[in-house]
C-alpha cells in the first residue's frame, strides 16, 4: 500500500513539476537527498509536458531531466558549493541509454528509495503522528467539556427564570 501511494504521489508531482514552485523545490530536494531521478527511472520525466521526449514537443527542455537529477561534483559532496550550478546538465539524457545517462545523472527512481526510507523510519513517523494527534484529541476533549458547561448554564438560567417569575411554582 505504501509503495502504491508513494508511486501515485511522485508521478502526480512529476506531471505538475513546473506548475508550482514549492512542489518543484520539494522534488529537487528529494532527488538530491535520495540521489535518485524520477519515479521508477529517469525516463518518467517524459510524463511532464516540458520534459516530454516526443518530436512534437517544442520545449527547450525536451528529453531532459531537472538539474537535481545530475550527479554531484566532488566539491558539492565535500560541502563546498560551486559558484555556478549547471542547470542544463540533464539536457537530452532521456534519449540516451541507461548506461550512457548514468555518467551524467542518477538513473535509479525515487519510489523505491522513498519507500525504503519510510519503512526504516516507521517508528519516527508514527511518533510524529501520535505527537500531533494528542494535542488535537485534548482540544476536542476540552471543547466537549466547554459545550456541556454551556448547556448546563443554559438549563440553569431557564430553571431560574421559571422559578423567579412564579415563586409558587
Taking the C-alpha atoms of residue 91 and residue 95, their distance in angstroms, rounded to an integer, is 9
Domain count along the chain: 1
Question: 83 pLDDT exceeds 80?
Answer: no
The grid cell for 21 is: 514552485
The answer to whether residue 162 is domain-embedded is no
Domain that holds residue 45: 1-122
Taking the C-alpha atoms of residue 36 and residue 136, their distance in angstroms, rounded to an integer, is 36
| pLDDT confidence of residue 16 | 93
The answer to whether residue 155 is domain-embedded is no
The answer to whether residue 132 is domain-embedded is no
Question: 169 pLDDT exceeds 80?
Answer: no
DSSP letters for 126-159: HHHHHHHHHHHHHHHHHHHHHHHHHHHHHHHHHH
Q: Is the pTM of this model over 0.85?
A: no
The grid cell for 30 is: 528529494
Of 5, 10, 24, the closest CA to residue 109 belongs to: 10
Question: 87 pLDDT exceeds 90?
Answer: no
Question: 32 pLDDT exceeds 70?
Answer: yes
The answer to whether residue 169 is domain-embedded is no
The answer to whether residue 156 is domain-embedded is no
Average pLDDT over the chain reads 87
Amino acid at each position: 500500500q505504501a509503495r502504491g501511494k508513494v508511486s501515485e504521489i511522485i508521478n502526480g508531482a512529476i506531471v505538475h513539476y513546473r506548475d508550482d514552485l514549492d512542489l518543484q523545490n520539494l522534488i529537487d530536494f528529494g532527488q538530491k537527498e535520495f540521489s535518485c531521478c524520477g519515479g521508477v527511472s529517469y525516463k518518467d520525466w517524459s510524463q511532464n509536458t516540458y520534459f516530454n521526449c516526443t518530436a512534437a514537443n517544442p520545449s527547450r527542455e525536451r528529453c531532459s531531466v531537472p538539474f537535481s537529477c545530475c550527479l554531484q561534483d566532488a566539491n558539492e559532496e565535500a560541502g563546498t558549493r560551486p559558484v555556478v550550478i549547471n542547470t542544463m546538465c540533464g539536457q537530452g539524457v532521456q534519449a540516451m541509454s541507461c548506461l550512457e545517462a548514468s555518467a551524467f545523472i542518477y538513473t535509479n527512481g525515487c519510489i523505491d528509495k522513498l519507500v525504503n526510507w519510510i519503512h526504516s523510519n516507521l517508528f519516527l513517523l508514527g511518533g510524529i503522528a501520535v505527537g500531533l494527534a494528542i494535542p488535537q484529541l485534548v482540544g476536542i476533549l476540552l471543547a466537549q467539556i466547554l459545550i456541556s458547561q454551556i448547556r448546563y448554564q443554559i438549563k440553569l438560567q431557564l430553571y431560574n427564570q421559571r422559578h423567579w417569575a412564579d415563586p409558587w411554582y
